[in-house]
């Protein structure tokens, strides 16, 4: 989906970024990013649920228990997944070499990768590029880092929020990539978040998990889970506030702002789904339980028939009700209502005959499909996109 570039510069005090070309990608585009905190930061992370985990993910999972970090290096174009013991050695080698050049402990460095699975990581290219990568670090280069982590993305994804803590203005910001292999549980998704607001490790981990669950885990493009999914956050405390805890009066404010940043990034990922022309928000109301709401929403959002219907401006509500019915969620047929945007197409389980009106509205870029299951009071939302011929074209030739 075409998008107007966001040229707004985002700065988080105490953080520097860079993005360069190292030669990993045949296209010659930027493929190496660096995130650096001027001081060690409280760090939290969540990672892929796929049982096949990339080498850098396995390394990060071992380290994250310390809740400490200072730098993250990310390469795009190569996933360093399914590369055996050599892949593990390569991830550690990059970790060690970057730490040495930055003059910090290896335990404070994290490595992340995204791209084609099963190919050896070109370690020599990355090592050779490290001096330039470090030299280019700048507080104003978050956009370059965001561009350098892209694979099939068509635009860099950045978002930020500011909140007041005891009269001081703090910043929460983030970058993300992801356009394909996207389904609930973060897939193929890299998301790196940064804040100058001081917060303790337990509270930061809790806030991150809640934010991810409300946004990145409510996102699907093609129902595929990646080997490399990563969401990390670093807090360097540069603002100088007393570190927040879960009991702090400002904690909920922080939690809400962080969720706002991750939700905005999630919308960008859905908007940029491979070959997508429309972003779709699936809203489920009237579910018996939260689990039922999620089942129905995911079934609708992942339905190829629903996604292709939206692409063709076809308000085929039969595909929506069928997906909900097959999801396993409890529903009461004669209480079901379905809306495409604000047009009510089903009332108490029966069509209203307003397809022509709805079809006109489906020509827009943002579509909301709402279904009330009539079985309770729980609700949820899931983001997805339409399915087009372009998706097939992109993925039929991805490794070539």
> Are 242 and 333 in the same domain?
no
> Are 222 and 330 in the same domain?
no
In a domain, 9, yes or no: no
Q: Which residue has the higher pLDDT, 80 or 227?
A: 80
Mean pLDDT, to the nearest integer, of 23-29? 93
Task: Return the minimum-mean-pLDDT range out of 205-209, 366-370, 390-394.
Answer: 390-394
> Are 298 and 248 in the same domain?
no
In a domain, 8, yes or no: no
pLDDT bin (cut points 50, 70, 90) of residue 35 is very high
> Are 30 and 81 in the same domain?
yes
Q: Smallest Cα–Cα separation from 155: which of 247, 73, 297, 267?
A: 267
Ranges assigned E (strand) in the chain: 15-20, 32-47, 68-78, 109-116, 157-165, 168-177, 190-195, 230-235, 279-287, 337-340, 343-347, 350-351, 366-372, 378-385
The pLDDT assigned to 127 comes to 98
Say whether pLDDT at 274 is over 60. yes
Beta strand 15-20 pairing with 190-195: unpaired
pLDDT bin (cut points 50, 70, 90) of residue 251 is very high
Q: What is the CATH number of the domain that holds 304?
A: 3.10.20.340
Q: What would the pLDDT profile of 124-180 be if each residue is shown by its tens digit?
A: 999 999 999 999 999 999 999 999 999 888 899 999 999 999 999 999 999 999 765
Say whether pLDDT at 182 is over 60. no
The pLDDT assigned to 324 comes to 98
> Are 150 and 258 in the same domain?
yes
Q: Smallest Cα–Cα separation from 330: which of 360, 300, 294, 366?
A: 294
- 58: part of which helix (H) or strand (E)? helix 55-63
Structure tokens at 126: 């990355």
In a domain, 3, yes or no: no
Say whether pLDDT at 220 is over 50. yes
Dihedral sign computed on CA atoms, order 219, 58, 202, 138:
negative
Say whether pLDDT at 96 is over 90. yes
Q: What is the CATH number of the domain that holds 218?
A: 3.60.70.12
Structure tokens at 40: 């060690």
In a domain, 10, yes or no: no
> Are 207 and 187 in the same domain?
yes
Q: Smallest Cα–Cα separation from 86: which of 63, 50, 120, 113?
A: 120
In a domain, 7, yes or no: no
Q: Compute the distance between CA of residue 213 and CA of residue 203 in angstroms, rounded to an integer.
A: 15
> Are 261 and 315 in the same domain?
no
> Are 298 and 231 in the same domain?
no
Tell me the pTM. 0.84
Q: Compute the distance between CA of residue 268 and CA of residue 270 in angstroms, rounded to an integer.
A: 5
> Are 52 and 74 in the same domain?
yes
The pLDDT assigned to 17 comes to 99
Q: Compute the distance between CA of residue 346 and CA of residue 354 in angstroms, rounded to an integer.
A: 9
- How large is the greatest C-alpha to C-alpha distance in the chain, in angstroms? 68
pLDDT bin (cut points 50, 70, 90) of residue 185 is very low
- Backbone phi and psi for residue 145, each to the nearest 5 degrees, phi listed first: -65, -40
In a domain, 1, yes or no: no
Residues 6+ apart with CB under 8 A from 85: none
Q: Compute the distance between CA of residue 225 and CA of residue 130 in angstroms, rounded to an integer.
A: 30
> Of 243, 271, 299, which residue is a domain's last?
271
> Are 20 and 141 in the same domain?
yes
In a domain, 5, yes or no: no
The pLDDT assigned to 397 comes to 63
> How many independent structural domains does the chain possess?
2
Task: Return the minimum-mean-pLDDT range out of 70-74, 301-305, 349-353, 392-396.
Answer: 392-396
Residues 6+ apart with CB under 8 A from 249: none
The pLDDT assigned to 221 comes to 59
Catalytic positions are 188
Report the Cα 331 to chain-centroid distance in Å: 31
In a domain, 2, yes or no: no
Give the single-character DSSP code of 154.
Answer: S
> Are 131 and 70 in the same domain?
yes
pLDDT bin (cut points 50, 70, 90) of residue 393 is confident
> Of 271, 290, 308, which residue is a domain's last?
271
Structure tokens at 167: 């009269």
Mean pLDDT, to the nearest integer, of 278-303? 96
Whole-number mean pLDDT of the chain? Answer: 92
Say whether pLDDT at 187 is over 50. no
Q: What would the pLDDT profile of 306-355 be if each residue is shown by its tens digit?
A: 999 999 999 999 999 999 999 999 999 999 999 999 999 999 999 999 99
Query: Residue 156: exposed, middle, or buried by beta-carbon count in 10 A (0-12, 13-18, 19+)?
Result: buried
Q: Which domain holds residue 308?
A: 279-396
> Of 271, 305, 333, which residue is a domain's last?
271
> Are 198 and 329 in the same domain?
no
Say whether pLDDT at 30 is over 70. yes
The pLDDT assigned to 165 comes to 97
């Amino acid at each position: 989906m075409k998008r107007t570039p966001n040229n707004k510069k985002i700065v988080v005090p105490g953080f520097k970024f860079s993005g360069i070309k190292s030669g990993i990608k045949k296209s010659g585009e930027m493929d190496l990013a660096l995130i650096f905190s001027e001081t060690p930061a409280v760090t939290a992370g969540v990672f892929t649920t796929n049982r096949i985990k990339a080498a850098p993910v396995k390394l990060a999972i071992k380290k994250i228990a310390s809740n400490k970090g200072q730098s993250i290096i990310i390469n795009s174009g190569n996933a360093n997944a399914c590369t055996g013991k050599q892949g593990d050695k390569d991830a550690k080698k990059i970790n060690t070499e970057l730490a040495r050049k930055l003059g910090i402990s290896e335990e404070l460095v994290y490595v992340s990768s995204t791209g084609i699975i099963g190919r050896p990581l070109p370690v020599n290219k990355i090592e050779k590029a490290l001096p330039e990568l470090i030299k280019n670090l700048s507080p104003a280069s978050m956009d370059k880092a965001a561009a350098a982590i892209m694979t099939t993305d068509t635009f860099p994804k950045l978002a930020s929020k500011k909140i007041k803590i005891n009269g001081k203005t703090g910043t929460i910001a983030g970058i993300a990539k992801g356009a394909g292999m996207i389904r609930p549980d973060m897939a193929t998704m890299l998301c790196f978040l940064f804040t100058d607001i001081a917060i303790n490790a337990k509270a930061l981990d809790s806030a991150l998990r809640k934010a991810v669950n409300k946004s990145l885990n409510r996102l699907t493009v093609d129902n595929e889970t990646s080997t490399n999914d990563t969401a990390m956050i670093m807090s360097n405390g540069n603002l100088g506030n007393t570190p927040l805890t879960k009991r702090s009066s400002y904690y909920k404010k922080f939690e809400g702002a962080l969720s706002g940043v991750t939700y905005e990034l999630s919308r960008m990922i859905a908007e940029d789904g491979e070959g997508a022309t429309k972003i779709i928000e699936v809203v489920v109301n009237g579910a018996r339980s939260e689990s039922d709401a999620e089942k129905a929403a995911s079934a609708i959002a992942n339905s190829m028939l629903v996604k292709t219907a939206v692409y063709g401006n076809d308000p085929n509500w039969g595909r929506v009700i069928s997906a909900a019915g097959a999801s396993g969620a409890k529903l009461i047929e004669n209480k079901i209502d379905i809306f495409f945007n604000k047009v009510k197409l089903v009332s108490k389980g029966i069509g209203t005959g307003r397809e022509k009106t709805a079809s006109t509205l489906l020509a827009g870029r943002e579509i909301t499909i709402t279904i009330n299951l009539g079985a309770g009071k729980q609700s949820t939302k899931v983001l997805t996109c339409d399915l087009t011929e372009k998706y097939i074209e992109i993925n039929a030739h991805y490794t070539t």
